[in-house]
Structure 1
Amino acid sequence: MTDDLGEAPPPARPERVRITAAGLGPAARPAFDLRSPAPSGRATEPAAVYVRSLIRSQLRLGIVATTGFIVATIAFVLILALVPDLSAAVVFGVPASWLLLGFGLYPLAITVAVLYVRAAARNEARYRALTVDE
């Protein structure tokens, strides 16, 4: 088909298609969603209690880990402040206080983080065990 000037019209634009992710199946849904309804259409009371318990235990774990790390950091700073010879001492051309930081505080931070992640995973595994038995 041509227009009055003998030229072909521009090709029609293709129809827009929206691509979305597939819906989450039961295996992909988080097991601890407060908003997920029970099969009857409303949240079950035991499930809500389990979720609140999980949230409380995770909060308690976070507070304990953070408090422990802060106390250890304050102790480290106090040691450096109360023992001025550490700031003056040099080992292999590096101030001893820097070595204490690098080989004392950073490994402590990593250890606290690893222990926190393991304990949080343990809490969630206990929660899943409770919800599966339901």
Structure 2
Amino acid sequence: MTRVRVTAPRSFHPGGPATAGSITAGGAAAGRTAVETREAAEESDAGQVFIRSLIRSQLRLGIVVAAGFLLILLAFALLLGLVPGLAELRIAGLPFDWVLLGAGIYPVIGLSAWLYVRTAARNESRYRDLAGDK
């Protein structure tokens, strides 16, 4: 039984079916398709280094964003626990801790998600530039 390595989805080219054997509009060198060129680049030693680098950078990004979010959440909890009387404070009839969690955490979640998506896209763009993908 042979191992099959799936590296990318089949590409779609206008005017033709979505197959791995379709020739790109720019015409690949010596009749090679974009998928074959990408697979060859990924199979090379340099391609493997690029892929491992991308995976490490995405993992590092996920860990940094998650750790930053947890630190902010911990800071909110410490603020409520260490400042006397803050938990009993009311703003517009609502307890301050609810307001802090409702109005303070959700923007942090949104900002964390936005930063993660933006940085992950930049990492992937850098990978494509290094790997020679268009």
Aligned residues: 104
Identity of aligned residues (%): 49
Q: CA deviation at 1:23?
A: 3.3
CA RMSD in angstroms, aligned pairs only: 2.5
The 1-side partners of 2:73 and 2:19 are apart by 46
Letter in 1 for 2:79: I
- 1:98 correspondence with 2:98: yes
Secondary structure in 2 aligned to 1:23?
Answer: coil
| Per-residue deviation, residues 80-124 of structure 1 (Å, max 9, x unmatched) | 111241211111111111111111111111101110110000000
Q: CA deviation at 1:26?
A: 7.5
Aligned residue for 1:122? 122
Q: What TM-score do you get using the length of structure 1 for normalisation?
A: 0.68
Unaligned runs of 5+ in 2: 1-16, 25-37
Q: Which has the higher contact order (CA 8 A, sep 6+)?
A: 1
Q: Which has the higher helix share?
A: 2
- From the superposition, tell whether residues 104 and 128 of structure 1 become closer, same or farther in structure 2 (CA, over 3 Å): same
| Per-residue deviation, residues 46-94 of structure 1 (Å, max 9, x unmatched) | 1111000000111111111111111111111111111241211111111
Structure 1 ranges of 4+ moved more than 6 A: none
Letter in 2 for 1:55: I
Look at both structures and tell me which one has the larger radius of gyration over its CA atoms: 1
Within-5 A mapping of 1:3-82: 22-24=18-20, 37-38=39-40, 43-82=43-82
- From the superposition, tell whether residues 118 and 26 of structure 1 become closer, same or farther in structure 2 (CA, over 3 Å): farther
